[in-house]
Structure 1
Amino acid sequence: MSSLWVVPFLLLLIVSLLEGTLGRPFYPLPSKADHKNKEPLQAFRPYNIAHRGSNGEIPEETTAAYLVSRAIEEGADFIETDILASKDGELICFHDVTLDDTTDIADHKEFANRKRTYEVQGVNVTGSFVVDFTLKELKSLRVKQRYTFRDQQYNGKLSIITFEEFIAIALDANRIVGIYPEIKNPVLINQHVKWTNGKKFEDKFVETLLKYGYKGEYKSKDWLKQPVFIQSFAPTSLVYVSNLTDSPKILLIDDVTMPTQDTNQSYWEITSDSYLEYIRDYVVGIGPWKDTIVPPENNYLAPPSDLVAKAHAHDLQVHPYTYRNENQFLHLNFHQDPYAEYDYWINKVGVDGLFTDFTGSLHQYQEWTTKSSQEDKRASNLLHKISFMISSYNGV
């Protein structure tokens, strides 16, 4: 076997072994790993946020995308996921409210009668909705890569994972890795999934975080031990969970044409100074779509807006999404070079974290530039010493 095929082959073998048993959690819950004396979370440069794992390489929000030689091993500071709920109230990691685009549900004849039409953010959507399936049924499905131009070899080999399995992946890492879960489509979830004692989706979400020790204000001792950012496009959800946990929260911001999920506010309302001043009591930052910060014109970047500066003036972090390596996602200014895009956003725009589909690329860029910066500093110090020696000599 050619050495070029050894790594993909071994990864595929490991994936098949890890995911092969239907519904079985790969990690013990709760995690029994020793979490002491781990390398701490880095805090001297923008956060590398693995958007749904390293999903540029492996189907999103799966064990393999987060762990097996991918997001965590490639240097992610945080692993990100979307949280939805099954019909029986179990929390799962899945982005779409329907299963049609990223699973093999079309091959499951037993679910052929599950198509429904629900209103989602003011639009009628037809499909097989997550909320109409039990966890056991969801575990019987296999996921596939979202984009056809990405690697397809893992299609049909990976299962949907639960929120608890996701947490265990982070806790079992050999260094401190933060989690970045999203309260996804809470209006839809609360309409279709019911818990006992009048509890809501948000209650179940926070209960799970607290169960596994996630607590504490941003950069507190507790937070640094188990870092977490709670994110949502729904402002009322973030305000609600603020009464349940002091963990830091991020308000996600969609395209300028999209109103907020639950309050029907416009982009311009929620990015105004008055609103940022209000929401800062509940969140530590915002997560805008990057094209709202620097809008493109004919696939070239226009001058950046003042959103980052405005957010920073209100002491809010800015974590834009999503950075992808492929040419179809890179604006022409970057000449097909994702490193050039990272450089622009980190050093020109000045963001505090980046959601990326290619964790390894961002990590390599930051390692390379950090090393170069340190070398430049050492060289500058040496030149300063030489200059001082020369001036001292000339003064003798």
Structure 2
Amino acid sequence: MRSSLTNHASSTILLYGFPKIDYEKLDSFLETSIVSGKQLSKDYKFICAHEPWLSGTTDVSDKAEFEDRKTTYNMDDDDDLINWNDKGNITDWFSFDFTLEELRTLKKYQSQNFRDPRYDLQETVVTLDELVDITREFGLEQGRTIGIYPEMKHCHAVNKILQNRNSSVRFEEIVLQTLNDLGFKSNPDPLVLLLERMIEEKDWERIDNLQLAGLGIDKGVLVTPGVPDEEGRGQYRSNTTQFIAKVHEHGLKAHAFTFRNEWMKLYWDHGQDPYR
């Protein structure tokens, strides 16, 4: 299950915990994106949110005390040749400029105006720790294991910001250490880690220590990444990746997400045909 059910604002207790019977209808994993909230100067906590910029899903713009936090960051990836997840310069309020205590003063609302607004502004942010507690509680009640499927969002962009703040640790390292601290150490744990792109070689030792069930990645990066043309009319194939082979080499399962059949998401090489 992905945290995008339309009854409640995404990534809230109301969504993850409503109703418990929904978990009986689901597969065994609950997906969420995680971004960082700045707790003091070095102690980073993770909240569940699709993006680190806040105004599209919270009432942060209504908070006079946070007016001066609005700023601009470049949220591009680290590949000049392929647009993995470029967002460009974004002006907004960002989670990593707030302490967790400050983030908890914000209220969440639906990110899309066609979704049910009845529960808007009732709940605040959810931490990764709280999400893990929810899945373990419901799993215990139902006599089964419910895992989590966290996505590391905008690693390169966040790492640039960390470097500018003279931080000696990378976003990926914080994520992996946090999961280790949350107790994901057994073999195999109910944990699939969702990536934007292949992780760096130096992170594999931490991955192996976590004993994950698997790694997930966008379908467009799984085998043959797509390269869009400059006018955004479509994409063509590029080199073949080693993602599946690398994941299997470490004894993990490979999972792909975001299978879209819109023609603009498909390669010219395949005639932009979803059935080829």
What code does the residue aligned with 1:252 have? D
Match of 1:281 among 236, 245, 249: 249
Query: In structure 1, what is the equivalent of residue 180 of structure 2?
Result: 210
What code does the residue aligned with 1:112 have? E
* Residue 303 of structure 1: how far off its partner (Å): 4.2
What code does the residue aligned with 2:204 have? S
Match of 1:200 among 170, 189, 208: 170
What code does the residue aligned with 2:216 have? I
Asked if the contact 2:216/2:257 (under 8 Å) is kept, the reply is no
**Residues 64, 55 of structure 1: CA spacing in aligned structure 2 closer, same or farther, 3 A cutoff?**
same
* Residue 188 of structure 1: how far off its partner (Å): 2.0
Alpha-carbon distance between aligned partners in 2 of 1:61 and 1:67, rounded to the nearest angstrom: 10
Q: CA RMSD for the aligned pairs?
A: 3.0
Alpha-carbon distance between aligned partners in 1 of 2:69 and 2:120, rounded to the nearest angstrom: 22
Asked if the contact 1:86/1:193 (under 8 Å) is kept, the reply is no
Query: In structure 1, what is the equivalent of residue 113 of structure 2?
Result: 148
Query: In structure 1, what is the equivalent of residue 13 of structure 2?
Result: 63
Match of 1:244 among 206, 213, 228: 206
Q: Over residues 365-389 of structure 1, what are the superposed CA-to-partner deviations in whole Å (9 max), with x where a residue is unaligned?
A: xxxxxxxxxxxxxxxxxxxxxxxxx
Asked if the contact 1:78/1:180 (under 8 Å) is kept, the reply is yes
Match of 1:233 among 178, 196, 213: 196
Alpha-carbon distance between aligned partners in 1 of 2:259 and 2:128, rounded to the nearest angstrom: 27
Query: In structure 1, what is the equivalent of residue 259 of structure 2?
Result: 290
**Residues 153, 295 of structure 1: CA spacing in aligned structure 2 closer, same or farther, 3 A cutoff?**
closer
* Residue 177 of structure 1: how far off its partner (Å): 0.5
Alpha-carbon distance between aligned partners in 1 of 2:129 and 2:242, rounded to the nearest angstrom: 37
Match of 2:65 among 87, 110, 127: 110
Query: In structure 2, what is the equivalent of residue 367 of structure 1?
Result: none
Alpha-carbon distance between aligned partners in 2 of 1:249 and 1:188, rounded to the nearest angstrom: 21
SS of the counterpart of 1:87? strand
Under a length normalisation based on structure 2, what TM-score does the superposition of the two structures give? 0.74
* Residue 64 of structure 1: how far off its partner (Å): 1.7
**Residues 105, 274 of structure 1: CA spacing in aligned structure 2 closer, same or farther, 3 A cutoff?**
closer
Are 1:86 and 2:10 matched, yes or no?
A: no
Higher CA-based Rg = 1
Q: Over residues 266-298 of structure 1, what are the superposed CA-to-partner deviations in whole Å (9 max), with x where a residue is unaligned?
A: 98346x26665456536632424212xx4548x
SS of the counterpart of 1:304? coil
SS of the counterpart of 1:235? coil
Instruction: Determine what percentage of the aligned residue pairs are the same residue.
Output: 25
Where does the alignment leave 5 or more consecutive residues of structure 2 unmatched? 77-85, 230-234, 265-271
SS of the counterpart of 2:35? strand
Size of the alignment, in residue pairs? Answer: 235
**Residues 164, 80 of structure 1: CA spacing in aligned structure 2 closer, same or farther, 3 A cutoff?**
same
SS of the counterpart of 2:69? coil
**Residues 162, 275 of structure 1: CA spacing in aligned structure 2 closer, same or farther, 3 A cutoff?**
closer
* Residue 191 of structure 1: how far off its partner (Å): 2.3
Where does the alignment leave 5 or more consecutive residues of structure 1 unmatched? 1-49, 217-221, 260-265, 306-396
**Residues 73, 139 of structure 1: CA spacing in aligned structure 2 closer, same or farther, 3 A cutoff?**
farther
Match of 2:273 among 287, 293, 302: 302
Are 1:97 and 2:52 matched, yes or no?
A: yes
Alpha-carbon distance between aligned partners in 2 of 1:165 and 1:69, rounded to the nearest angstrom: 16
Asked if the contact 2:55/2:92 (under 8 Å) is kept, the reply is yes
**Residues 92, 77 of structure 1: CA spacing in aligned structure 2 closer, same or farther, 3 A cutoff?**
same
Asked if the contact 2:36/2:52 (under 8 Å) is kept, the reply is no
The structure whose residues are more often helix, as a share, is: 1
SS of the counterpart of 1:161? coil
Are 1:185 and 2:154 matched, yes or no?
A: yes
Q: How does 1:378-393 map to 2 (within 5 A)?
A: none
Asked if the contact 1:164/1:208 (under 8 Å) is kept, the reply is no
SS of the counterpart of 2:38? coil
Q: Over residues 324-358 of structure 1, what are the superposed CA-to-partner deviations in whole Å (9 max), with x where a residue is unaligned?
A: xxxxxxxxxxxxxxxxxxxxxxxxxxxxxxxxxxx
Q: Over residues 286-323 of structure 1, what are the superposed CA-to-partner deviations in whole Å (9 max), with x where a residue is unaligned?
A: 424212xx4548xxx93424xxxxxxxxxxxxxxxxxx
Alpha-carbon distance between aligned partners in 2 of 1:196 and 1:208, rounded to the nearest angstrom: 20
